[in-house]
Amino acid sequence: MNLNKDIQQLNNKLDMLRRKLDDAKARDDQGLVKQFKRELTTVNKKIASIKGMQSRSNSAQGEALNALPFHRPLSKLEQADMGKFKKSVRGLIVVHPLTTLGKEMGISEVTGYAPKAF
């Protein structure tokens, strides 16, 4: 189950329902308007549920990374040859600040987390 794909599919369905709702309102078809509004609320609830699951997953992953004993920002030279750097430091996990995990953790620069000093 890929949460990002599920959210994307639900957002597409939400857009489609909004367009259909606008068309139904233009035709003044009250039965369809009520139906589309019910469907919109269920899709919004599903999206909120999935985003909550995603947030819990990211916070748990962030806590696990913060529990690792060593972490520090990576220099530009280390970032330039990430493959070589990851091979030299076993168990290294790199978190970028623009990813959802990086935003959740509140980091401001590319940071490496590892069980041993690097």
Per-residue model confidence (pLDDT) at position 1? 56
Range of the domain at 76: 68-118
What's the structural domain count of the chain? 2
Give the tens place of pLDDT for each residue, 6-59: 999 999 999 999 999 999 999 998 999 999 999 999 999 999 999 999 889 888
| pLDDT of the residue at 25 | 92
pTM recorded for the entire structure: 0.69
Specify the CATH number for the domain of residue 82: 3.30.1370.150
Q: Please report, for residues 2, 43, 48, 101, the alpha-carbon distance to residue 8 in angstroms, rounded to integers and kept in the order given.
A: 10, 12, 13, 18
Q: What is the mean pLDDT of residues 93-99?
A: 93
Best CA proximity match to 97, nearest among 111, 81, 77, 114:
111
Please tell me whether residues 73 and 57 are part of one structural domain.
Answer: no
One DSSP character per residue, 7-46 reads HHHHHHHHHHHHHHHHHHHHHT-HHHHHHHHHHHHHHHHH
Q: Which helix (H) or strand (E) holds 76?
A: helix 76-80
User: Above 90 in pLDDT, residue 3?
Assistant: no
Same domain for 16 and 53?
Answer: yes
Shared-domain flag, residues 4 and 38: yes
